[in-house]
Amino acid sequence: MTAQHVVVVGYGPVSARLADGLLPAVRRGELALTIIGEETAAAYNRVLVADLGVGRTTEEAISVSDPAELAAAGVSVRMGVRVRRVDRARQSVLLADGTAVHYNRLVFATGARPVVPPLHGLNPDPAARAALPRGVTALRNLADAAVLRHAVDRRHRVVVLGGGILGLEAALAAHDEGAQVTVVHHGPHTLGRSIDAGAGHTVGAALRARGITVVADARAVGVELGRPDDGEPAFSGLLLDGGACVAGELLLLSCGVRARAGLAEGAGLAVDRGILVDHGLAALHDPNVFAIGDCAQVRCLDVSCAGCAPGNGPPGLIGPGWRQADWLAGMLAGAAGAFAAEAPVPLPAERAPVMMLKARGVEVVAAGDVAAGPFDGVPGLAVSVWADPEHGKYVKMCTRDGVLAGFVSVGMPRTAAELSLLFERGSELPADRSALLRLDGPDSLPAGAAADPARTVCRCAGVPAETITAAVAGGCDTVADVSAATRAGTGCGGCHGDIRELIEAHFAPAVS
């Protein structure tokens, strides 16, 4: 029987994870697999592009796929190829070079594109495919990383537009490597979508203490373009409402992302904030088409489904995308052969994510809803707050019937670790909330979470401490070795410190 042909549009980290899951079926001859990527580079971890841009990592280190290995297994990998349109009636993917690829199953893994704000001097139309002016980048791909590296090496003034997680991580990394950095954001405090005002102001104060200029409550209206010696227009300043200008040589746009769903929409598929798929990741009304990762939005046809509230959009995190890829690979390949007739186990619902700002010296962890204050009188909600803004520390805990419903922690890493564990497990907090604050005291013992072998260390890949400890006992003595053996640390990179601690804890008795 002819092998079913799976075509994947997009060659990013989620697509690469799907390919890894399908490889056994490809090797058995049960599936044929084609991956089509618009970039000329193989799949890499976009979350670490900022680290690449400041010289903390390499292209090889953030790579998550080997095209030669895939090709050796029988996968057709086509890089640097743009898909022009999808003909669902003929089950065909039409490429820009005029060729076509037939599919039995089509998977969109097209990811997301950066939002270019409507500033005077910039073209925000993604269909125009016009390059941004020199000195303006969205820090999304390898070319963007090279632009940042050029600016950092020359100690240029860097202006970051946006006070979200990625913007602050890039700002802190660039500053640490010698650049003069200004963060401009619309709103009264940074990280406005993830943390409350008290935590936001604490973070802003911490940024200023590090030497980063923060311009809050600012509305950017345009970019100023100068003409260096070569005569080509280049960024020289960000224009604000009211006439002020923030001077610089590089503008980093960190204004969010939008799902790359235009190709699917052109094929007649339902699109909202992403490509609409059901709980089996199949596009609505077409069981032969699927979507995963940042381009996919789960929305079943049951209007009463609580998990498909209108406010839900694409996950926006690499961990959920990887879990979708793993599940879809198992479903497509099947336990006993490709496209098995038996119904697969339903895709598990995603837990509320724990947000983590990964930066040296500014530690922020948050999850759940933390908007309410301790005296707002929200029925059933108890809120505890502790603040020490002078030293960059802040903790808020929101509980319902004693169970943690949301929290934010700034500058309190051990408290944050314990709260993360309690939040993920739906556990009750101790009656004396201050007991958690003592975890970061100078005479404290390690948090209970840190000693729990079952705790999740890498949330992106879902790797527990016991798996990492076993890998270290088996000979892995670096973060890179542990990542290769367990996949821990291959996502956002926020767990690298925890992995190092586990490695050091294993070898400490021998050193002693």
Annotate 335-389 with three-state secondary structure.
CCCCCCCCCCCCCCCCCCCEEEECCCCCCEEEEECCCCCCCCCCCCEEEEEEEEH
Average pLDDT rounded to a whole number, residues 477-488: 82
Beta partners for residue 399, in sequence order? 382, 404
Predicted local distance difference test score (pLDDT) of residue 349: 76
pLDDT tens per residue across span 295-339: 999 988 777 777 676 666 787 788 899 999 999 999 998 843 544
* Tokens encoding 506: 């294993």
Q: Which residue has better confidence, 454 or 381?
A: 381
- Say which DSSP state 145 is in: H
Mean confidence (pLDDT) of the chain? 88
Q: Give the ranges where 92-243 is alpha helix by DSSP (H).
A: 142-153, 165-176, 197-209
pLDDT, mean of residues 56-76: 94
Kindly report, residue by residue over 160-184, the tens digit of the pLDDT.
999 999 999 999 999 999 999 999 9
Q: Is the pLDDT of residue 125 over 60?
A: yes
C-alpha count within 13 angstroms, C-beta hemisphere, residue 332: 36
Give the whole-angstrom CA distance, residue 493 versus residue 165: 14
Report the C-alpha gap between 376 and 370 in whole angstroms: 12
Domains and their CATH numbers in the chain: 4-113+258-333 (3.50.50.60), 126-255 (3.50.50.60), 363-446 (3.30.390.30), 453-512 (1.10.10.1100)
Q: Are 322 and 13 in contact (CB under 8 A)?
A: yes
In three-state form (DSSP H/G/I as H, E/B as E, the rest C), the secondary structure along 87-115 is ECCCCEEEECCCCEEECCEEEECCCEEEC
**Amino acid identity at 377:** G
User: Do strands 364-368 and 354-357 pair parallel, antiparallel, or not at all (unpaired)?
Assistant: antiparallel
pLDDT one-digit tens code per residue, 439-460? 887 755 444 444 567 777 787 7
Give the pLDDT confidence score for residue 511 in this predicted structure: 47
Instruction: Show the tokens assigned to 156.
Output: 């240029």
β partners of residue 75: none
C-alpha 301: how far from chain center: 27
Contacts of 449 (CB under 8 A, 6+ apart): 417, 418, 420, 421, 422, 455
181: three-class secondary structure by DSSP = strand
Evaluated on CA atoms 43, 48, 50, 54, the torsion sign reads: negative
95 or 187, greater pLDDT: 95
d(CA 145, CA 327): 32
Angle at 479 between CA 478 and CA 481, to 5 degrees: 65
Q: How confident is the model at residue 129 (pLDDT cuts 50, 70, 90)?
A: low
Of 2-11, 164-173, 403-412, 503-512, which range is least confident? 503-512
Report CA-CA distances (Å) from 60 to 44, 142, 480, 500: 9, 12, 12, 21
φ, ψ dihedrals at 335, nearest 5°: -70, -35
pLDDT at 439: 87
Give every CB contact of residue 280 below 8 A, 6+ residues apart in sequence.
Answer: 331, 344, 346, 347
